[in-house]
Amino acid sequence: MISRRNLLKGTALTLGAASLLRTALTPSAALAQSGDMPPGTVHRFSKGGVGFHTYVSPAMTVNVTSHIVEFDDQLLLVDATFMPPTAQEVSALIASTGKPVGQAIISHEHPDHWGGAPMIDGVTFNTLPEIREGLRAEAEGGQFGIPTNVLDGGDIAPGMTEMSGVPVEFRHYRDNEAPHMLVTVLPEQQVAIVQDLVYNGIFFAPGVNRTNWITTLEEMRDDPAFETLLVGHGLPTTRGELDTAIAYIKVLDDAMTNAATPDDAIAQIKAAYPGYSGDFLLSLIAEYWSR
């Protein structure tokens, strides 16, 4: 079970994120929350008349993200982070824009992305029906609380829509890092909010189907609809991170297939990616171990 004590410190900056920092990305400290958790950071940039605000939680919560897309008159919110203090910082970031949330979504079933939802007052989260049912099963297990503002939310239909006259596409990817992943693409801005299909400088979770995960990322690599990626763990980055993710998942799959024990698999991954952080996510390998 995820707890504050289990989430280890550390961070890394990949080449794609460093490139964005040198060009358009503006980092700042999040508005401090109450409690003993250090603040997260906010990273902002604008493309095609649309503002993007990425909240990255502190390293002790494996740098999980929430994204706010700012249109002329409303916001699109993607994910709620996990802990109450980090969700409070997301709420403060929303309030700082002075604009209402026109649409809020949850990207997938894993609780580090929806556990903070009840702390974001006045916002109801929509998602794919399949994600909601998987989330309901997690929530009713009793470990993470019941996010009624997610379970009572509406359904997202994959396909093109508009927000404030800006085209927005919702895509449904199956059997990758999670059973279902809701990806948001803004084709005019060439930005894709891919969440846990890509981690940036953080150890990846084991995933439910790594072969299909790689295939999905290879298809996305050839898709001209986006150049900038907003990810589920770590800083915004560029489409080149897709190649990094593909290579990482191959190493992960090889380790989990051929290592003698979970500890051996973890050692192999840490040796291959010594600059990565988020050791807690490596501990999940034991839960996925089938031998």
pLDDT digits (tens, 9 = 90+) for 54-92: 999 999 999 999 999 999 999 999 999 999 999 999 999
Read off φ and ψ for residue 287, nearest 5 degrees.
Answer: -70, -30
Global pTM reads 0.89
- pLDDT tens for each residue of 46-60: 999 999 999 999 999
Residue 232 DSSP symbol? E
| For the chain, percent of residues with pLDDT exceeding 90 | 82
- pLDDT tens for each residue of 140-182: 877 778 999 999 999 999 999 999 999 999 999 999 999 999 9
- pLDDT tens for each residue of 185-213: 999 999 999 999 999 999 999 999 999 99
Q: Name the E strands within 147-255.
A: 159-163, 166-174, 180-186, 191-199, 228-233, 237-238
Cβ neighbours of residue 148 closer than 8 Å, sequence gap 6 or more = 118
DSSP symbols for 27-72: EEEPPPPSSSSPP-EEEEEEETTEEEEEEE--GGGTTBEEEEEE-S
Q: Which of 8-12, 119-123, 262-266 has the lowest mean pLDDT?
A: 8-12
